[in-house]
Structure 1
């Protein structure tokens, strides 16, 4: 079936997705400040898995068709990797806040571009390598190593970015033989099983107020994924992907206004360089496509 390419609608859905995911990050930051991040992600995954199963059951072929894959080890590893990445990301929010976490995490498209050669066998030309180098210069500006103000916690969102980049590349690789619905099903179900096996040992009761926040976190997770699915259904990914950077803006705004975080000049400069380099690599990828 030919995909429609309603770019204005796709852009609107992508921006809406970034708003919802930013709210999700803000709620995660609040809850992980009071409870173990592993438990918070576990409960979030329960709802995510339920959402994935409901979506799969409504498709042609049902759950059996969604789960069918010739590469179960790869699909399972993807699910484990994303679940672990979310735990690392949420832990980073509690260490350094939303502003600096998202500024550092913004380098993940550059990591994808750098690793697309060895993992996917794609050719990365000198222009994209130059953009990657410039982008990581932006990372160094954010980190400020050797200036006496280096925060070791800044390494956490960089680890998260690396994990998410590998997850993204493995998703592309899996997509050569599996449908998107199959990858989505394995991501939610395997992640939920893994997080339950690990997170149940960190269970602690929540206050009534935080139970409401936890329910809101679960609902925003489902809504965000639904918006993202709809976004990619109505428009080409290459056309709407640059607008995913709005999550940096919205999440940083939450950090400044709700959590009283500060905005250091070097973070602004470094993030701007990273985003510019990332947008260039996305543009080059679209040109090659």
Structure 2
């Protein structure tokens, strides 16, 4: 299937995607502050699974075709890993807030670049290794590991970023044999099954107002994933991916205006270094592809 490459439309969709996901994170921060994280993520996954199944049902071959894979263990592991990563990241929102959590989490593309060699056998040149090193200096500036005020909780979004990077690499690996539709189906269904088995034990009654917020959380989750799929359908990933960093900006605005968070100087400097290093790795990847 030939892919169109409407870069302006792709960029517009990516900007909208990052805004929707930032709103989703704000809703997650509120709900997880009031209720158990596992219950919140479980309900979100129920809607996500329903969305995935409805998409699969409309395609040729239906659910059976979407679920068909020669890599069920890897696909299942991907689904479990993403569900666990979401739980860890939502917990980070409640402990550290949106600003600091996202500032650290933005290092995940650098982790993908660093791990793509040992995991996928891809070559990573000295320029990209240099950018990865610079990016992790940015992470250290945010975490301040040598300071007396260092909060170990600051490592939580770093764990989430590592989990998400491994998830991304596994997704790239299984895509060698499976379609995007198959990977998407396994992501939603495995996550929903796993979160239901765990989350039901932590069920709490919710207020009517928070059920409205929960409905909005589910809608933003589904909308964000749908926009992301459309974004990658209309434009090549390397052209639009740098704009994914705008989620940090939108999340920071929501954190500051709605939750009274503040941006510390070390967090701002560290995040700027991480984003710059990440943009360089995307640029190098694009140059490398163009030369082949």
Q: Does 1:278 align with 2:278?
A: yes
Deviations 1:167-215 (A, max 9, x none): 0000000000000000000000000000000101000110100000001
Deviations 1:137-164 (A, max 9, x none): 0001001122222111110000000000
| Structure 1, 185-194 or 146-155: larger mean CA deviation | 146-155
- Write the distance in 2 (CA, Å) between the matches of 1:218 and 1:202: 19
What TM-score, normalized to structure 1? 0.99
- Write the distance in 2 (CA, Å) between the matches of 1:273 and 1:124: 20
Q: Which residue of 2 aligns with 1:186?
A: 186
SS at 1:123 equivalent:
coil
What TM-score, normalized to structure 2? 0.98
Q: Which residue of 2 aligns with 1:98?
A: 98
- Write the distance in 2 (CA, Å) between the matches of 1:271 and 1:146: 18
1:59 deviates by 1.1
Q: Which residue of 1 aligns with 2:176?
A: 176
Q: Which residue of 2 aligns with 1:136?
A: 136
Q: Which residue of 2 aligns with 1:74?
A: 74
User: RMSD of the TM alignment (CA)?
Assistant: 0.5
- Write the distance in 1 (CA, Å) between the matches of 2:278 and 2:21: 20
Gaps spanning 5+ residues in structure 1: where? none
Equivalent residues in 2 for 1:32-111, closer than 5 Å? 32-111=32-111
1:277 deviates by 0.3
Q: Which residue of 2 aligns with 1:261?
A: 261
Equivalent residues in 2 for 1:21-32, closer than 5 Å? 21-32=21-32
Q: Which residue of 2 aligns with 1:206?
A: 206
- Write the distance in 2 (CA, Å) between the matches of 1:288 and 1:149: 42
**Which contiguous aligned blocks of 4+ residues in structure 1 show a shift greater than 4 angstroms?**
none
Residue correspondences, number = 289
Q: Which residue of 1 aligns with 2:220?
A: 220
1:285 deviates by 1.1
- Write the distance in 2 (CA, Å) between the matches of 1:25 and 1:36: 15
Deviations 1:7-50 (A, max 9, x none): 00000000000000000000000000010101000000000000
